[in-house]
Amino acid sequence: MNSGVFHTTYKSDLALRPVPIMRWRLIFVLLLALLLPFMVSNYYLTLANQIGIMAIGAIGLNILTGYTGQISLGQGGFMAIGAYTSGILAAWYGVPWYLTIPIACVATALFGGIFGIPSLRLKGLYLAIATLAAQQIIEWVIIRSSARGAEAIPLPGIKFFGTSISKLKFDFITGRLGGREFWYYWIVLFFLILVVLFTVNLFRSKTGRAFIAIRDQDIAAEVMGVNVFQYKILSFATSSFIVGLAGALQAQYRGIVSFESFTIDVSILYLAAIIIGGLGSVSGAIYGAIFMTLLPALLRSVGSSLGGVIPGIDQYIAFMQQGVFGLVVILFLVFEPEGIAKMWRNAKDYFRLWPFSY
Amino acid sequence: MFKTRSFVTLSCLLITALMLAACPAPAADSGNGEGMEEGPIQIGAIFDLTGPTSDVGQLYSGGIKGYVDFVNATGGIDGRMVELLSADYAYAVDQAEQLYSQYVNENEVLVFSGWGTGDTEALRGRIGDDEIPFVSASYSAALQDPAEAPYNFLIGTTYSDQFILAIDRAAAEGASVVALFHNDSPFGTSPLEDGRDHAGELGIDVINFPMPRGATDYTAELSQAAEQGATHVVVQNVSSPAATLAKNVDNLGLDMTIMCLNWCTNELLLELSGEAGDGIIGVNPFTFPSSGVAGLDEIAGHLESEGTMTLDEAGGLYIAGWTTMKVLLQGVRDVSAAGDELTGANVRAALENLSGYDTGGITDPITFTGEDHAGNKTVQFFEASGGVWSPVSERVGVEN
């Protein structure tokens, strides 16, 4: 029996999954993700798609806030840039959807870099206000962009080889599959895996280490030779690239781009998601996205079951849901401020070390 | 305490529960998919009961639920009860999508009632794919064209038409400059372009002022409007900012007539503005209890049998919700009466054939066609005095 896991090469030491059980867990999760659309109904696929898009956005924000320590309230605005770029290209210029997405990412990265310039002089709360300005500027531009007040722009949906995905259905062992949610799931999953691989490898590289150094102690990083300003801008640009991807995917998913989905509330929701999930880890961003998407659904389902049991509580359920949502977020921050990722690590350690406690 | 076995286990269980969470509990007790022949007719609705527009959302939702209860109390549709699956989504568009997906996929609803611009726009593509006729309280002109929005039906007069009719009234009173004070969002600017075009034909200037969110004073904008010669101020916003505006006009002593479009033409505005509300002209696509039209009798009767509130307490928004659901379900009735299968596509066809449907005077007769999904093109003007809205005109419509 092994007394531990020992590495004999640098390569195996730096591996993403150094321990066999971690590899098995990863394979299990991947299998689950691949089999999901064949097992569940469209409602769960809607949830899965929303989680996927939010996870991509959260990973983007995590690069900026969790790994580089730059607080950003401009998430909604950057997603709007991605969404509107993709939407306008598809709707007004007839660009095919798979081309609009990379272009939207690049455009958002550009604007992200520009809005990151204040980070040269500002840190912490002051930078948060500067990014809030970015959010407001972007909102303002959207509203004023046409006399009709930037009406929603409907997109020509996604087509696979000429057929709209909502009409592409086929019969399978588990029933009639296909349709918008089903095909879109694969698109989101593909991009999510790409983004996860990219981000995880980013933080094994020199650039990633520079980001982390800036977060931990930027003066020491500067002294060591990290060009802090350059890497901050790079962090804004990289983060915005991924956030723009999330925005473009959301626009294509909904089939319409409208102003309401990109307000300051979205920025705050994403910040809450990565804080609850765990700052500074990719899996934390994913857990946060899952939590924020599923919690309202759980509260609704608990609320309607309660409504059946306790008569007269109907009027209050909606208000209770709001209250409980806030309470859960606060409880999380009080009892486990490092988020769900830390809770998961604690759980794993507990079972690994039992009956010892450390 | 946090390191004990039970706490860790509990946390793991919580996480697992969340992962399995979104079991869509059916919003009512009867199961789903018993087959359209025997079971109740299921319709879906989302309301804003706790979010930013909840002050009007709650009243509107009362009207929708009230009509469904009324239908069930009077024998249902050809003997089948109507089951309303509804939930609060607090104006969060993501939750609107989740609820829509749940009701359509897990419950098989036939038609859907939305609420605001955000969710109406977000669901526009989906309702086309799923073939679900959709009504909402977003009266944007973009929704009336079936080529753009094939399954959306408008029962309230569009914001553009409302503004045009307000401009006509201002023109009749001799105005040469009309100021539009609007919410700082696409909802607010929705009527601007069409209104401007129409006013141009009449030789009237339209100037517009956005009302920024959270502003507590519009004195500066009002002074500018007065300097530019505006005699009439049209407000495209909800009640709270409109009430602030009315108070500002009163304080400044400006000689301006305030005309509110439908989202500030309600009892809430009068409560909030008090004496400053006297003299405000309200543009109402539906009607108020004070008009006394025949169509209000069934609403009053239902409220009396429920015993929860009087027609006056229910107010204009309840009437709006009631009438909206009434017209939507008329499409369902027509399909059922013709003996056809109850599908979304059939209901849509039936609605497009609806011509001159009488709502008892609450609106002009509703007509939809295959080229135009705006069923109601008329409004009635009311004037506020002493905390009550009283009619000051017959129903007027846009000349096409």
Quote the pLDDT of residue A143.
79
DSSP string, B285-300: SS--GGG--TTHHHHH
Structure tokens at B115: 């609420």
pLDDT-derived band of residue B398, with 50, 70 and 90 as boundaries?
confident
Quote the pLDDT of residue A314.
66
Q: Which residue has the higher pLDDT, A307 or B242?
A: B242
The distance from CA B347 to its chain's CA centroid, rounded to whole angstroms, is: 21
Q: Which domain holds residue B190?
A: 159-284+381-397
Quote the pLDDT of residue B34.
39
Range name among A1-15, A24-38, B306-320 with the lowest pLDDT average: A1-15
Is there a single domain that holds both residue B81 and residue B143? yes
Above 60 in pLDDT, residue A148?
no
- Give contacts of A261 with chain B, Cβ < 8 Å: 93, 118, 122
Above 80 in pLDDT, residue B10?
no
Q: Which residue has the higher pLDDT, A333 or A309?
A: A333
* pLDDT tens digits, A337-353: 899 999 999 998 888 88
Quote the pLDDT of residue B27.
40
Among candidate residues B178, B330, B343, B152, the one with its CA nearest the CA of residue B256: B178
Whether B139 is in a domain gets the answer: yes
Mean pLDDT of B207-227: 90
Above 90 in pLDDT, residue B212?
no
Q: Could you tell me the CATH number of the domain that includes residue B306? A: 3.40.50.2300
Quote the pLDDT of residue B153.
94
Mean pLDDT of A166-183: 80
Q: Which residue has the higher pLDDT, B161 or B23?
A: B161
Is there a single domain that holds both residue B275 and residue B352? no
- Give contacts of B126 with chain A, Cβ < 8 Å: 180, 255
3-state class (DSSP) for residue B205: strand
Rounded Cα distance between A339 and A333, Å, is: 7
Is there a single domain that holds both residue B209 and residue B327? no
Whether B324 is in a domain gets the answer: yes
A149·B190 Cβ contact <8 A: yes
Give Cα separations from A226 to A229, A234, B368 (angstroms).
Answer: 9, 12, 67
A297·B12 Cβ contact <8 A: no
Is there a single domain that holds both residue B262 and residue B189? yes
Q: What is the mean pLDDT of chain A?
A: 88
Is there a single domain that holds both residue B148 and residue B166? no
pTM exceeding 0.90: no
Whether B350 is in a domain gets the answer: yes
pLDDT-derived band of residue A354, with 50, 70 and 90 as boundaries?
confident
Mean pLDDT of B259-268: 92
Using CA coordinates, name the residue in chain B closest to A332: B11
Is there a single domain that holds both residue B180 and residue B274? yes
Mean pLDDT of B9-32: 55
Quote the pLDDT of residue A134.
92
Whether B241 is in a domain gets the answer: yes
* pLDDT tens digits, B301-322: 999 998 888 898 888 999 999 9
Residue B381 and residue B393 in contact, taking contact as beta carbons nearer than 8 Å? yes
Is there a single domain that holds both residue B245 and residue B359? no
Chosen from B3, B83, B94 to mutate, greatest number of chain A CBs within 10 A: B94
Is there a single domain that holds both residue B151 and residue B164? no
Quote the pLDDT of residue B32.
40
Mean pLDDT of A311-327: 76
Among candidate residues A138, A106, A110, the one with its CA nearest the CA of residue A266: A138
Is there a single domain that holds both residue B320 and residue B185? no
Is there a single domain that holds both residue B392 and residue B343? no
Quote the pLDDT of residue B23.
54
Quote the pLDDT of residue A48.
96
3-state class (DSSP) for residue A45: helix
* pLDDT tens digits, A252-299: 998 888 877 888 989 999 999 999 999 989 999 999 999 999 988 888
pLDDT-derived band of residue B71, with 50, 70 and 90 as boundaries?
very high
Whether B28 is in a domain gets the answer: no
Out of A167, A179, A301, the one facing B23 most closely (by C-beta) is A301
Chosen from B4, B12, B85, B101 to mutate, greatest number of chain A CBs within 10 A: B101
Mean pLDDT of A237-260: 92
B22·A47 Cβ contact <8 A: yes
pLDDT-derived band of residue B3, with 50, 70 and 90 as boundaries?
low
Which DSSP category does B102 fall into?
I
- Give contacts of B19 with chain A, Cβ < 8 Å: 290, 294
Q: What is the mean pLDDT of chain B?
A: 88
The distance from CA A242 to its chain's CA centroid, rounded to whole angstroms, is: 9
B15·A166 Cβ contact <8 A: no
Q: Which residue has the higher pLDDT, A240 or A140?
A: A240
Task: Give the number of A-B residue pairs with CB atoms closer than 8 Å.
Answer: 153
Question: What percentage of chain A carries pLDDT values higher than 90?
Answer: 54
Quote the pLDDT of residue B31.
38
Out of A256, A305, A344, the one facing B122 most closely (by C-beta) is A256
* pLDDT tens digits, A55-109: 999 999 999 999 999 999 999 999 999 999 999 999 888 889 999 999 999 999 9
3-state class (DSSP) for residue B184: coil
Above 80 in pLDDT, residue B351?
yes
Q: Which conformational region is residue A231 in: left (phi greater than 0), alpha (psi within -120 to 50 degrees), or beta?
A: alpha
B29 Cα to chain A: minimum distance (Å): 8
Quote the pLDDT of residue B19.
54
Quote the pLDDT of residue A343.
92
Whether B327 is in a domain gets the answer: yes
Quote the pLDDT of residue B328.
94
Whether B191 is in a domain gets the answer: yes
Quote the pLDDT of residue A215.
94
Quote the pLDDT of residue B12.
65
* pLDDT tens digits, B153-211: 999 999 999 999 999 999 999 889 999 999 888 788 889 989 999 999 999 999 999 99
Residue B334 and residue B349 in contact, taking contact as beta carbons nearer than 8 Å? no
Rounded Cα distance between B328 and B343, Å, is: 13
Whether B330 is in a domain gets the answer: yes
B190·A319 Cβ contact <8 A: no
Is there a single domain that holds both residue B274 and residue B331? no
Out of B22, B101, B192, the one facing A147 most closely (by C-beta) is B192
Among candidate residues A109, A339, A150, A92, the one with its CA nearest the CA of residue A246: A109
Is there a single domain that holds both residue B136 and residue B256? no
Above 80 in pLDDT, residue B93?
yes
